Structure 1
Amino acid sequence: MTNPSFEFSRAITRRPAPSITNGLRAEDIGTPDLDKMLAAHADYVATLKKTGAEIIELPPLDAYPDAVFVEDTALCLPQGAVLMRPGAPSRMGEVPEMASTLRAVYDDVREINGPGHIEGGDILVTGREILVGRSDRTDAAGVAELSAIVTEWGHTLREVFTPPGVLHFKTDCSLLDAETILSTKRLDASGCFEGYRVVHVAEGEEAAANSIRFNQYVLCPAGFPRTTEKLHKAGYEVVEIDNSECAKLDGGMSCLSLRF
């Protein structure tokens, strides 16, 4: 029996465009280096392919600087896909660009029509439920509209809250397996993961929380040795990917693919 929360046969990625240097960021910690980002992105895609999954690689979209972060445009579930409604106005146009790709691989594609907003970076699918964090990009109306769709598909959705000043729920957490969450202490302190096994990232390595479990691998941003060691000791096969450039745009491992 496969586990749809971390066992995938396909993923969708999009190559960074030169315009990515104009991407959104909460604070300016420097302009991303496109060549370094392209190399890291290629490494990321190659790692996904190593698991035997089919990777649908989409071309760059110069009109949308943040389009490399495909995860925010949709939620992919076994029953169907849901097109999101981003909270950042400059990203709304990314959704129709993704729609045709999803319609080619899914029979059932729904969409969040609004007035609410919701982004994929705020959604964590575990072995038993869908957790959606309210944030600056995801509001109550967006969560309610998604809830109606996924409930019809037999899923349980639970609304939780993203810590203040944290862009997305998954900035601070990720799934390690159906019952285990990698989380920052600040997010876990909210009680949102009660009943799960929780592995805390090392103090000062909060950015390592945005990792992904993709088949046999846990893809982690490079440069967080104590967290990586914790994961190795817990029995996970960790692959480190350079995330230095995406981090300048508040992006991470989960943002770079849609997994299904």
Structure 2
Amino acid sequence: MDRITLDTIDLSRLVYGMWRLGDDTDTSPKHVQAKIESCLAQGITSFDQADIYGGYSAEALLGHALRAAPGLRNQMEIITKCDIVAPVGRHAAARVKHYDTSAAHINASVDASLSDMAIDHIDLLLIHRPDPLMDHMETGAALDALVASGKVRAVGVSNFRPWDVTLLQSGMTNRLCTNQIELSLVAHQGFTNSDVAFHQERSIPLMAWSPLAGGRLLAESGTQLRARLAQIGADHGTDWSAAAVAWLLRHPARIIPVLGTNSLARIGTIATALEIEMDRQTWFELYTLIMGHEVA
């Protein structure tokens, strides 16, 4: 599988998202290990977490699997995020859901993530959401210090608009090497609102969360879009979802889709999206179908 270089680290072209890890009926270390091994067998070596996933429980579920099979860690790049404080789990005492990009909170979150996941470093740490109260100099210095300490290899952001990126970057020495944003056939605004162009200009690969748009693309069942996606998938021996992911992969900005499912059968087919070579007219055909009209 092709790999994408983000400054000091490389990620697999597709990333397995673990945000639903705690929703599975089987959260045993053996079952989590089976998911990881299925990904690795396809060349998917990058795994996306966040401290808040599963009400602050998903990282520990991964940690249980890595304790049971420690040899897996050296085959993986582990991504995680911090700064969302919700009144559940370890933050149950919080009065209101909020963001915290203070150095104290970031450092405490990183230490908790390292402990929960049973690892000695995080390959990529992302600030999960823009914080209206962010002191960019304090936050930037905290991220730089974490890289210098070896606890974190690289840093980036998630859900940031271009001006949020430049603000935080102005307080840092290390480069913010990615931004994880929502991108899909349904959530396609990033292609025209400057989000994609901003990062493409700066050679900053984007990560795309919810590349299948959750239930929204499922709701397209029976439409011309779903029929065309199914046809493209079938022509390449796979299904509609692989075609939807291939639509993102076609873009020259080197978008890295983050795909999450608890089904071992579905996990085993994630990489089929890479087998679809989409030409320009097919890309615009799908774009036209989701917009409901041709481009101007």
* TM score, norm. by length of structure 1: 0.33
Considering only CA atoms, is the larger Rg found in Structure 1 or Structure 2?
Answer: 2
Higher helix fraction (1 or 2)? 2
Higher strand fraction (1 or 2)? 1
Q: Which has the higher contact order (CA 8 A, sep 6+)?
A: 1
